[in-house]
Amino acid sequence: MQKSIDQINERIRDGNARVVTAEEMPRIVADLGEKKALAEVDVVTTGTFGAMCSSGAFLNFGHADPPIRMERVWLNDVEAYGGLAAVDAYIGATQQSTTREENYGGAHVIEDFISGRSVELRAISRGTDCYPRRTITTELLLENLNQAIMCNPRNGYQRYNAASNTTDRILHTYMGMLLPGCGNITYSGSGLLNPISNDPRFRRIGSGVPAFLGGAPGMVIGEGTQASPGSGFGTLMVTADMKRMNPEFIRAATMTGYGVTLYIGLGIPIPVLDLETVRSTAVRDEDIWVDVIDYGIPTRSRPSLSKVNYAQLKSGVVELRGEEVRTSPLSSFRRARVVAEELKLWIQGGKMTLALPTRRIDSEKISQPMHETVQGPRVLEIMDRRVIAIGEGEAIRTAAQKLLKGETNHLPVINEQGVLVGIVTTYDISKAVVNPAKGPLVKDIMKRKVITTTSEEPVDIAVQKLERYNISALPVVDREFRVIGMLTAMDLGKLFGGRWLK
């Protein structure tokens, strides 16, 4: 048995369509079986409500008198992209205010407009024969704009890897606050309610398909940026009229220490036309697996600590490395449900009919990392290759002599195998002279916890370590933890005037 989209739309128009949410569907299929579920259910509604950084809106302000060709545009001190004709601009959600930094940004401008608050527009121009005006300042309400069309390049991630942190310090990330020593796990997405998780082959979701966006009826434009449905991380580009949105479903937010983002309610109705759609919409939280990624490692391919599913994440506690770790969703499952329920009401009430994709999204596509032609500097290129080290069993006095002779302030301490076991600085030695009680040997006074770098590490990461721990030198170690050089604040000077400034 198969149903056509026209049959379903007819039933919607007659008010007879059977609409359920993606949360209800697994139960229905389990109870009725796939065939009966296909006969019974016409539409499955999905929903998600979470932080979606890659969002923004095209705005048209209308022409001033005398007219201006806006070159740079600010809305409440948040810069909007003005490189679009005379009075068009794109306000991006994550752009931050020039005056209020991470406390206010493009997302807040969007929320202010939708909530009916006035927003100050400032723009400058060099002036042309046809657009003589050079500056403008005016207060605008959403109703004063000709168009305010939200157009989000990347929304509705199919699923998202969870986050944790193996380092010994707190991290502030776009995945929220991550406590040291894997003290917590954060995750995002609504699991079984996520739109793409209910249609991972993109058989029903594609260009032209209707959607719920921020409380307004909207549309899927097509594949989202960075979409990687081939690896289970599909995304969508979506649009809707901001003038019809509701602040309940559009909320500006700040991830402390990271920046501004926009929480968005997004839902897509899926017409149940065949058995394969019945199966895909019966997806459960237990079926959707993600990695727990270690955000303590500052590289693109961060290691996975574990694999978990949304049922485990939503239970509030996950076992990680033999310990029970508490979880935080960063998206609101409560509001995701409201989105799916609201969409259900729209369709039951005949307010929205469905459509098939006018263009299919490639479900095999895999997103690629950046093609980099110029590699940034690595520690190897600027480190000091002279290694002046001392054995842990040597006298403090010997260390002092070495420091003087080597004209350095940091002395890595090595054991008999040449492995780094500590570090002493001129400060440590001064302290030992003033207060000799600790003992006469280097190992009595050395710091055992040494922050190190490697020759292959990007200089930017090494600099972050120097700043974070408020230190001025890092021993460079090889795989066996033997010292092969030192990187000091002085070496960083080599970056200036050298090839890296080209």
- Chain positions 398 to 457 lying near other proteins, rule: CB under 8 A, are none
3-class DSSP state for residue 192? helix
Q: Quick one: 92 or 176, whose CB is closer to other proteins?
A: 176
Rounded CA gap, 97 and 421, in Å? Answer: 47
- Note whether 61 and 146 are within 8 A (CB): yes
If one asks whether residue 254 binds other proteins (CB under 8 A), the answer comes out as: yes
Chain centroid to Cα 115, Å, comes to 25
Q: Minimum CB separation from other proteins for residue 55, in Å?
A: 15
Q: Minimum CB separation from other proteins for residue 270, in Å?
A: 22
Residues 294-333: x/- map of binding to other proteins (CB under 8 A)? Answer: ----------------------x--------xxxxxxxxx
Q: Minimum CB separation from other proteins for residue 209, in Å?
A: 26
Taking CB under 8 A as the binding criterion, the range among 1-9, 220-228, 255-263, 301-309 that sits at the site for other proteins is: 255-263
Q: Minimum CB separation from other proteins for residue 322, in Å?
A: 18
Site size toward other proteins, by CB under 8 A: 30
Q: Quick one: 152 or 186, whose CB is closer to other proteins?
A: 186
Q: Please, which residues have CB within 8 angstroms of residue 499's CB and are 6 or more apart in sequence?
A: none
Q: Quick one: 203 or 335, whose CB is closer to other proteins?
A: 335
Q: Quick one: 122 or 337, whose CB is closer to other proteins?
A: 337
Q: Minimum CB separation from other proteins for residue 248, in Å?
A: 9
Q: Please, which residues have CB within 8 angstroms of residue 189's CB and are 6 or more apart in sequence?
A: 48, 50, 157, 159, 160, 310, 331
Q: With 0-12 CB in 10 A as exposed, 13-18 as middle and 19+ as buried, what is 6?
A: exposed
Q: Which of 201, 337, 365, 494 binds other proteins (CB under 8 A)?
A: 337
Q: Minimum CB separation from other proteins for residue 173, in Å?
A: 11
Rounded CA gap, 229 and 205, in Å? Answer: 12
As annotated, the active-site residues are: 130
For residue 205 the two structure tokens come to 């979701």
Residues 116-155: x/- map of binding to other proteins (CB under 8 A)? Answer: ----------------------------------------
The H or E element spanning position 108 is helix 106-114
- Note whether 472 and 489 are within 8 A (CB): yes
Phi, then psi, of 48 in degrees rounded to 5: -150, 150
Residues 165-194: x/- map of binding to other proteins (CB under 8 A)? Answer: -------x---xx-x----xxx--------
Closest C-alpha among 117, 136, 141, 153 to residue 63: 136
Amino acid making up residue 490: M
Q: Minimum CB separation from other proteins for residue 318, in Å?
A: 10
- Note whether 373 and 467 are within 8 A (CB): no
Query: In sequence order, which ranges of 361-470 are alpha helices (DSSP H)?
Result: 379-382, 396-406, 426-434, 442-445, 459-468
Residues 258-287: x/- map of binding to other proteins (CB under 8 A)? Answer: ---x-x------------------------
Q: Quick one: 302 or 337, whose CB is closer to other proteins?
A: 337
- Chain positions 33 to 72 lying near other proteins, rule: CB under 8 A, are 49-51
Rounded CA gap, 364 and 130, in Å? Answer: 49
Amino acid making up residue 501: L
Q: Which residues bind other proteins (CB under 8 A)?
A: 49-51, 172, 176-177, 179, 184-186, 251, 253-256, 261, 263, 316, 325-335, 337
